[in-house]
Homo-oligomer: A and B are copies of this chain.
Amino acid sequence: MSAPDPATPASSRHRVVIVGGGFGGLQAALRLGRAPVDVTLVDRRNFHLFQPLLYQVATGGLSPANIASPLRGVLHRQKNTRVVLGEVTGFDVPGRRVLLADGAALAYDSLIVATGSSHSYFGHADWERFAPGLKTVEDATAMRRRILVAFEEAEKAATPEERTAWLTFVLVGGGPTGVELAGAIGELAHWTFRDNFRAIDPARARILVVEGNDRVLPAYPPDLSAKAVRSLERLGAEVMTSATVVDVRPDGVTVRRADRHREAGAPVDLARDERIAARTVLWSAGVAASPLGKRIAEACGASTDKAGRVPVQPDLTIPGHPEVFVVGDLATVRGADGQLLPGVAQVAIQGGRYAARLISARVEGRTLPPFRYNDLGLMATIGRAAAVAVIRGRHLWGYPAWLVWLFIHLTWLVQFESKLLVLTQWAWNYITRNRSDRLITGGPGDERIPA
């Protein structure tokens, strides 16, 4: 049934194609390393990115290479696995082929799609220029450039108004990324930049987290949201809740706050619009699934939810297509309680491993019970030695939470050979409060940087 493709070596073995080398795709590939199958991992990028630490690159604490591992390097010992650097443009589901931008096609017997998600600007695509998000290494270095340039421009500013606007940082969205970024910018301003400037006091930077819900970290228990706010405030960051950004421009944002003290009978338009002059606006709100979600869903005769995610069955396959798996935050997977699983690394990792195990089992003529998510918890750091975490139902905060965070992240990085370096870097940063990767790189040719 599958059309043979000259680029794919003929083989009688079961062929697995994995699209995406993130947490889900890479774990699937690793888990299939000893299975009697031929594995092809295809990604646009030549590296796996440890996305939970991307905010540290955006704030100069780590270099991109510290949190990225070349896919070929990670998989080089797996003789049954090849890595293809390429852009997937679509799927020929009846012919069981993945179509690439360069015209090539990859034939499969089983397919795992794990291309994750990007930011959503809720229909305001024009805001992206002024309020970049954080999903790729390029996003992180562009964000780093913006943050560092803002302090430089403040140092040179001719008027107090200009200086204030350059020293105001708005984080749109109070989820983990927004909170972690705000904490890291607070550290830069209070510690790393101490004595670095002559005309400004960087510690006077205003760092504002704008969150639409009534508290930051809405996926966490309320007591931890409160702890996070206290940690942020210690670093000079403020939190504005029940507030929505309704306009973004190069020189600031407009925030609409639901009036919390609305009196009985008062008109609804008591909602107030506030203009905040800020030259640095960073986007950490909204998630949009990779466009390949829609492509694979349509090719299978299914449809996506409004965020573009693919609804999957309990075995992570698309209904009617037991050979097509969707894992990670490209899929809508429900937990034992019927709730949608969050878009975190663990869901992708466990999903990728499950898909690999099920494919191996099927090749051996066995089957497996449905996917079951093992909830290991949630965690977010807010600067040096401060974090919040839920670990198996227990709430942790402050230094203990941070130690747990450190331990878990280092353990994870081990297999990607970066542990020693990241540990050295972190120890160095911790002792000296320094951030070594404070390089303003990329030029005016970079269209993500406003002039």
Please list the residues of chain A having a beta carbon within 8 angstroms of any beta carbon in chain B. 7, 45-47, 63-66, 68-70, 72-73, 76-77, 82, 84-86, 102, 104, 137-138, 141, 148, 152, 155-156, 193-198, 417-418, 420-421, 424-425, 428, 432, 434, 436-443, 445-447
Contacts and interface: CB of A to CB of B under 8 A. Distances in A.
A176 B420 CA distance: 31
* 5 A-B pairs with least C-beta separation: A65-B437, A72-B196, A63-B63, A82-B198, A76-B195
A439 B85 CA distance: 12
B440 A47 contact: yes
Nearest to A153: B85
A46 B424 contact: no
Given A64-B63, A76-B196, A195-B77, A46 B439 contact: yes
12 contacts: A64-B437, A65-B437, A65-B438, A72-B193, A72-B197, A73-B438, A84-B156, A85-B152, A137-B441, A421-B425, A421-B428, A424-B424
Nearest to A64: B439
A73 B434 contact: yes
Contact of A442 (B72, B138, B195): B138
Nearest to A63: B63
Number of copies: 2
B436 A65 contact: yes
Nearest to A441: B137
Contacts of A46: 148, 152, 438-440
Contact of A421 (B70, B148, B421): B421
A8 to B, nearest CB: 11
A156 B85 contact: yes
Contacts of A85: 152, 155-156, 440
Contact of A47 (B65, B82, B432, B438): B438
A20 B65 CA distance: 28
Which of A84, A193, A439, A443 has its CB near the most chain B CB atoms (within 10 A)?
Answer: A439
Contacts of A420: 424, 428
Nearest to A194: B76
Contacts of A45: 440
Contact of A438 (B70, B193, B424): B70
Contacts of A418: 436
B76 A439 contact: no
A439 B70 CA distance: 7
A185 B194 CA distance: 41
Contact of A138 (B148, B438, B441): B441
A262 to B, nearest CB: 47
Nearest to A86: B156
A181 B193 CA distance: 36
A438 B45 CA distance: 11
A361 to B, nearest CB: 26
Contacts of A437: 63-65
Nearest to A81: B198
Nearest to A436: B65
A421 B438 contact: no
A434 B443 CA distance: 30
A76 B195 CA distance: 6
